[in-house]
Chains A and B, each alone.
Chain A
Amino acid sequence: MTYEEIRGRLSRKRVGIAGCGGLGSNCAIALARVGMGTLVIVDFDCLSVSNLNRQYYFRDQVGMKKVEALADNILRIDPTIRVEKHPVRITATNFTGLFAGCDVIVEAFDLAEEKEMLITSALTHFPTIPLVVGLGMAGWGNNAAIHCRRLGNIYVCGDETSEISASMPPLAPRVGMVANMQANVVMDILLNSVQL
């Protein structure tokens, strides 16, 4: 497939990104750079200085809604990307309305409880839409532990082991690795060549 064919196919696709923190912001930027047609970005939070150690934002954006700042950054890279931004907290109730019509959904939450809510909602309401989950990326080093595997319509990216804690914070290199791995899996799914 040529570069033009890849961009042509992706330009007709719609990807939902649940959470615009370390995983979501970096994944969205990667998908914007390859010419994804529509990105649906959802996050209720505002940007703080402490987010800048791993999230795709800039110092002068601190205080902005993350969806507003991320939309700005995406459009600075490619103004032809359609960005649908929702500054709301995702719940089991509003999940279906936010992500209906997406070809793929990216789970990019921080807390295990929220990941569980999103995966459970997705499996209940959208059992056939591929869901790309980020699981385990705390700390640094240990490149080889990060992997991808498929469980039906769920694709898991991460080391599935490292949980964030005071001594194992989430940091740009490993969070970025998993976020870009998620974007890579999205491409794999949308270009119909999934082999995990």
Chain B
Amino acid sequence: MCQVKIILNNYHEEFDRESLTVSELLAVKNFTFKMLVIKINGNLVSKAAYDTTMVHDGDEVHVLHLISGG
């Protein structure tokens, strides 16, 4: 079984599967907020591309939950 090892929000994470889309990552991590900003290796991932963008072994992923207040 292959593993995808990434850095998610500055922490190491491992997933026991061969590949992972951004949508699958959000589901596995139970990130259910509607307002999100996601960067992979410094590049913004658009909402429309969550289903088609793959998270690769070694990627650095940042997920930011946006909440109201200010």
Known: A135-B64, A152-B42. A110 touches B70 (CB 8 A): yes
Known: A119-B37, A124-B44, A127-B42. A162 touches B64 (CB 8 A): no
A35 interface residue per 8 A CB criterion: no
**A189–chain B nearest beta-carbon distance, Å:** 17
A170 interface residue per 8 A CB criterion: yes
Within 8 A of B (CB), among A122-168: 123-124, 127, 133-138, 149, 151-152, 154, 156, 158, 160-164
Q: How many residues of B contact A (CB 8 A)?
A: 17
Residues of B within 8 A of A (CB): 9-10, 34-37, 39, 42, 44, 62, 64-70
A151-B10, A151-B62 given; name 18 further pairs at CB < 8 Å. A19-B70, A110-B68, A112-B35, A115-B68, A116-B37, A119-B64, A133-B64, A134-B69, A152-B42, A154-B64, A160-B65, A160-B67, A161-B67, A162-B67, A163-B67, A164-B68, A170-B70, A175-B69
Residues of A within 8 A of B (CB): 19, 21-24, 108-113, 115-116, 119-120, 123-124, 127, 133-138, 149, 151-152, 154, 156, 158, 160-164, 170, 175
- 8 tightest Cβ-Cβ pairs between the two chains A and B: A151-B62, A112-B35, A112-B66, A163-B67, A123-B44, A164-B69, A23-B70, A110-B70
